[in-house]
Amino acid sequence: MAQISEFLFQNDGNIVHADNHIDAETGLFLMRVEWELDGFQIPRAEIAARFAPLAERLKMQWRVHFSDAVQRIAIFASKYSHCLYDLLLRNVSGELPGSISLVISNHPDLQTVPERFGIPFHVFPIRSENKQEQEQKELELLAANQTDLIVLARYMQVLGPEFASRYPNRIINIHHSFLPAFVGSRPYHQAYDRGVKLIGATSHYVTEQLDDGPIIEQDIVRISHRDSVDDLIRKGRDLERVVLARAVHLHLGFRVLPYGRKTAIFD
Amino acid sequence: MAQISEFLFQNDGNIVHADNHIDAETGLFLMRVEWELDGFQIPRAEIAARFAPLAERLKMQWRVHFSDAVQRIAIFASKYSHCLYDLLLRNVSGELPGSISLVISNHPDLQTVPERFGIPFHVFPIRSENKQEQEQKELELLAANQTDLIVLARYMQVLGPEFASRYPNRIINIHHSFLPAFVGSRPYHQAYDRGVKLIGATSHYVTEQLDDGPIIEQDIVRISHRDSVDDLIRKGRDLERVVLARAVHLHLGFRVLPYGRKTAIFD
Amino acid sequence: MAQISEFLFQNDGNIVHADNHIDAETGLFLMRVEWELDGFQIPRAEIAARFAPLAERLKMQWRVHFSDAVQRIAIFASKYSHCLYDLLLRNVSGELPGSISLVISNHPDLQTVPERFGIPFHVFPIRSENKQEQEQKELELLAANQTDLIVLARYMQVLGPEFASRYPNRIINIHHSFLPAFVGSRPYHQAYDRGVKLIGATSHYVTEQLDDGPIIEQDIVRISHRDSVDDLIRKGRDLERVVLARAVHLHLGFRVLPYGRKTAIFD
Amino acid sequence: MAQISEFLFQNDGNIVHADNHIDAETGLFLMRVEWELDGFQIPRAEIAARFAPLAERLKMQWRVHFSDAVQRIAIFASKYSHCLYDLLLRNVSGELPGSISLVISNHPDLQTVPERFGIPFHVFPIRSENKQEQEQKELELLAANQTDLIVLARYMQVLGPEFASRYPNRIINIHHSFLPAFVGSRPYHQAYDRGVKLIGATSHYVTEQLDDGPIIEQDIVRISHRDSVDDLIRKGRDLERVVLARAVHLHLGFRVLPYGRKTAIFD
């Protein structure tokens, strides 16, 4: 912390946000520092090169991001439109620090949704026998679009392992339960059957193991015995929208630092 | 609903609370109705007998409770004092519609806690070889005390099956997670390892299957990456206290109607 | 309760939801009962006439609503699109038990928003000297459209008193604070200045007095010292959307029973 | 940040927690850093003196606290025991990083409560004509006890201005509403009359102006039309206990940094 702060101080960097975390268990030190380029002595293009020797000496893993760079987002959806719509609206109203460049689906159902906002929609129907081949095409399309972030907005397919390895900590999924409760399919039905008094939603990075990646954000809403499964689904939709949007917003602001199975959220 | 209301109306019963629930799935109709005895035409002692024919005709399962009857509560605790203390305080300040008549433990550690409030404390050390015998003695003590409700205030033993069968829906446990997540032991450690963003507590009736009985109340509190396991334990204590106390309060007010694996809460 | 239940029972009404509330302070008895028309002995068109004598005898205030009747909604908005968009999306995806028939604004800015969904948009620019005249035109348009419910989706004008008297308990407003804190303008700035640790939103029926009508729903979200006014506005948007949508949903399902300055919510 | 970190780094200080906040509006920079004394090159007694020149050069306001120093707490209470009991229990079970040394009241009612835990209880009956004189005696008692923190645990008197000036940001009050809603007396009655859907509690530092000091912590609980004023009071008690205890815990851990009318919470 001393030396990073000193590096910025020496170069007239005006810090606007700094946060850190010391993980007592692993001894890991995490730091996020955000400063203004106005008045900073090092030209934008040279910052990384000038910082590298210090980082090497301290054996840091590090990245420099520029908050004015527009990150390109690809959304995967299937048949439910609520999360997709929600993200498209935040996109059109400038709420997201990024830009949705395309929508991919395994079904044609939501065709009109992104098109209403002038966003390209691509259908890749997936069956067990063509899954690998279709996913390959999706990966090519994502690469051609210089995709920075993939958001699974209630995408009803499990992605093949190549996705997680190509986009580590850059695929965000929304699961409609407070994980680790109700892993897998039909969590609202599971919740109804168990008679819980609150339902949740969880946004997390996608890893090779289903519903097991680092959690970014969770929230819950109270329910009662009066709520049918349909009520849970309806109440859950609002939760899913908000929990997914918060995660996407945090990620795009470089406020999520994943480490091991966890995340530090520097908000 | 018509005939029960009519029964009360005909006998000048002044209803102060009425609630019901129609479980669409099972076709079950649940109703709770509370009325004043002042002005009621049927003497207290005859209410059940006078209601029985109607109940039989409607094939109801039913019970009559009197809100001025003081229910007798036995608390089981082990080594953690926070839930025990919390209930004792609510008892002494008159917050609970019931009365704690004794505290049972498998350890002597908390001896001074109930004694500070003049409540008898009984130790039944339990080892695998004497468990059945000791539990038999506990059951005798409970019966001798005319126990209406057993509260497991972080009792660290699994009760034998005879308890659940003798006190069906009359044993309340507090589990320190939002069930069904983190069943079993050390849920805060499990939660810490999983990196969840909220922790919970669940109060439920005890059945023969561990942590699986009908849920009465749940709540959560937000945590962050900064929280150590000790922080989770500390924050969880407040949650456990409140979630257990709410369940006990609801139960003592006859506001919990268990059905199947679920509860209707008529609050 | 007895006689209403009896009326339904005698006519083979299958009750699917019944709830009631006894207001201890005023002695008021509120009841909501929902039953199926399948198998009901009284034809739909005659229900009101057949129920009226009983209602008169009991001196009830009462209404019959049919859940398959599509209620017509008019939305008022100004310059913020998030609540308007949210309601339009719920409308297009069939989440609302009603239909948005028109959008009225005092500014042309949001023109494209409802038009994207094929909903007519009407601009009535309002200045102090033409306010009464413009509102008169709005009222005519609303009447011509057989409007059942008016929703103020962050409408930045105070409606004249004729609105509240023509649409009593049928105009829902969203205020971006947990009322009664931060009445009036710029509540997020007020909240920021006061240093609160949570911000809220309140949906309520509009009465002649500003921000004073019966509250339908409220919710809050935690904030911290790190949040700027812009962060409060951003976090508040999600709250406003959900709190307004919940109120509209409850109202359209006839689950809000206003009495005096309060509401009973039969959910 | 750079120079403070450097100071610790040069003296082999092992940082275990560091947090900071840049208040964009006032340009204020707040920092809290916690490090271990094991291995630190500067002896405990000399830290302040060695740090002072740097602090002076940077024009900082600063303090050094030692986490092993036991802070002495005085509690003021009147007639409600729940917050007092709660703090006493946390004290006896070692949950608080501090020690309750005495309890002061303007009524004799709660005499037995602290005495149950061996804590001295002092009664200073206050009437308008003797208020100044009695408060003077209280201040002497507090000084004689080397009081670090005063906690108003539902103390029903407004403290005279000398308290706030002698113990700036060292008197914590619990107010039973989500301030700034329902300032002053009987907030649950105010909340009931207004028909709000959630009630709150607020812990804050005491300043000369009633209920206006910097807020440390707030929380809310949902209520419904079914809840009477007594229910609000009952539900509120749990909220008050927790919100006050959290504030006391944060304060004793030196995690609250007041600035202007606000607090930064470095948790």
Distance from D193 to chain C by nearest Cα, in Å? Answer: 8
Q: What's the average model confidence in pLDDT over D56-77?
A: 96
Neighbours of A249 (CB within 10 A): 20
Percentage of chain D modeled with pLDDT above 90: 89
Q: Is the pLDDT of residue B25 over 90?
A: no
Interchain contact, B22 vs C16, CB within 8 Å = yes
Q: Which of C23, C178, C225 is facing D21, going by the closest CB pair?
A: C225
Question: β-strands A99-105, A72-77: how paired?
Answer: parallel
Nearest by CB: A195 against B195, B196, B214: B214
Question: Which residues of A fall below an 8 Å CB-CB distance to D?
Answer: 1-3, 5-6, 8-9, 15-20, 22, 24, 222
CB C145 within 8 A of CB C137: no
Mean pLDDT of all residues in chain A? 95
Nearest Cα of chain D lies from the Cα of A251 at a distance, in angstroms, of: 21
User: Which chains contact C through at least 3 pairs of Cβ atoms less than 8 Å apart?
Assistant: A, B, D
Catalytic residue positions of B, numbered:
211
* pLDDT band for position B24 (cuts 50, 70, 90): confident
What is the arithmetic mean of pLDDT over A114-134?
Answer: 95
Say what the pLDDT of residue D89 is: 92
Which of A2, A9, A18 comes nearest D9 by C-beta?
A: A2
Full DSSP string of chain C? -HHHHHHHHHTT-EEEEEEEEEETTTTEEEEEEEEESTT-SS-GGGHHHHHHHHHHHTT-------TTS--EEEEEE-S--HHHHHHHHHHHTT-SSSEEEEEEESSSTTTHHHHTTT--EEE----TTTHHHHHHHHHHHHHHTT--EEEESS--SPPPHHHHHHSTT-EEEEESSSTTTT-SS-HHHHHHHHT-SEEEEEEEE--SSTT-SPEEEEEEEE--TT--HHHHHHHHHHHHHHHHHHHHHHHHTT-EEEETTEEEE--
Q: What is the pTM of this model?
A: 0.96
Contact B85 D81 (CB under 8 A): no
Q: Which of D88, D238, D243, D267 to mutate to test the interface with B (most CBs of B within 10 A)?
A: D238
Residue in D with minimal Cα distance to C192: D262
Band the pLDDT of D247: cuts 50, 70, 90: very high
Nearest chain C residue to B12 by CA distance is C2
Using alpha carbons, select from D136, D90, D139 the residue that is nearest to residue D245: D90
Task: Tell if the CB–CB gap between B8 and C2 is shorter than 8 Å.
Answer: yes
Q: What is the pLDDT of residue C24?
A: 82
- List the catalytic residue out of D211, D230, D231, D267: D211
Q: Is A5 in contact with D9 (Cβ distance < 8 A)?
A: no
pLDDT tens track for D69-106? 999 999 999 999 999 999 999 999 899 989 999 999 99
Q: What per-residue confidence (pLDDT) applies to C184?
A: 85
* Omega before C180 within 30 of 0, i.e. cis: yes
pLDDT in tens, C145-200: 999 999 999 999 999 999 999 999 999 999 999 999 999 899 999 999 999 999 99
Residue D52: per-residue pLDDT: 97
Residues in chain D within 8 Å Cβ distance of C220: 178, 198, 220
| D197 with C182: Cβ contact below 8 A | no
* Other residues' Cβ atoms within 10 Å of the Cβ of residue D26: 10
- Six token digits for residue D238: 């749990």
- Rounded to the nearest angstrom, the minimum Cα separation between B86 and chain C is 27
- Residues from chain A contacting residue B224 (CB–CB below 8 Å): 265
**Mean pLDDT for all residues in chain C:** 95
pLDDT of residue A29: 93
3-class state of residue D123 by DSSP: strand
Cβ-based interface (< 8 Å): residues of B facing C: 1-3, 5-6, 8-9, 15-20, 22, 24, 222
Chains that touch D (3 or more CB pairs under 8 A): A, B, C
Q: Which of A147, A262, A145, A133 is nearest to A205 (CA)?
A: A262
Burial of D243 (0-12, 13-18, 19+ CB in 10 A): buried
pLDDT tens-digit readout, D203-230: 999 998 888 899 999 999 999 999 999 9
Give chain C positions within 8 Å (CB) of D181: 178-181
> Which chain B residue shows the shortest CA-CA distance from A262?
B195
Q: How many CA atoms lie within 13 A of C145 on its CB side?
A: 26
Q: Which of C21, C225, C264 shows the shortest C-beta gap to D265?
A: C225
Q: Are D2 and A8 in contact (CB under 8 A)?
A: yes
- D262/C180 CB distance under 8 A: no
Q: Is the pLDDT of residue A63 over 90?
A: yes
Q: Which of A109, A211, A230, A238 is the catalytic position?
A: A211
Mean pLDDT is lowest, of B1-5, B103-107, B197-201, C141-145, for B1-5
Nearest to D6 among A6, A19, A22 (CB): A6
Mean pLDDT within B251-267: 95
pLDDT beyond 90 at D184: no
CA distance C39 to D213: 63
CA distance C4 to C76: 38
What would the pLDDT profile of D122-178 be if each residue is shown by its tens digit?
Answer: 999 999 999 999 999 999 999 999 999 999 999 999 999 999 999 999 999 999 999
Model confidence at A152: pLDDT above 90: yes
Give residue B67's pLDDT.
94
pLDDT bin (cut points 50, 70, 90) of residue C77 is very high
User: How many contacts, defined by CB atoms under 8 Å, are there between B and D?
Assistant: 25
Give CA–CA dist C191/C194, Å, rounded: 5
Measured distance CA(D106)–CA(D123) in Å, rounded: 6
From the list D5, D19, D22, which residue is nearest A5 (CB)? D5
User: What was the pLDDT predicted at D245?
Assistant: 98
Q: Are A259 and A16 in contact (CB under 8 A)?
A: no
pLDDT band at residue D65 using 50, 70 and 90 as cut-offs: very high
What pLDDT is recorded for position B2? 87
Q: How far is CA B2 from CA B54, C10, C13, C223, in A?
A: 12, 9, 11, 49
User: Which positions in chain B touch C17 (Cβ < 8 Å)?
Assistant: 22
**pLDDT for the residue D2:** 87
> Rounded to the nearest 5°, which phi and psi values hold at D122?
-125, 130
Q: What confidence tens digit (pLDDT) does each residue in C177-186 have?
A: 999 999 989 9
Residues D92-102: tens digit of each pLDDT: 989 998 999 99
Work out the mean pLDDT of chain D and round it to a whole number.
Answer: 95
pLDDT over 90 (residue A2): no
- pLDDT for C97 equals 87
To the nearest whole Å, the CA of B12 is away from the closest chain A CA by 30
Provide the pLDDT for residue D256.
Answer: 98
User: What pLDDT, on the 0 to 100 scale, is given for residue B27?
Assistant: 85
Cβ contacts of residue B248 below 8 Å, gap of 6+? B73, B87, B96, B98, B149, B151, B172, B203
CA distance D187 to D199: 9
Residue D133, pLDDT score: 96
Confidence at residue A135, expressed as pLDDT on a 0 to 100 scale: 97
Average pLDDT over residues B68-85: 96
Omega before A180 cis (within 30°)? yes
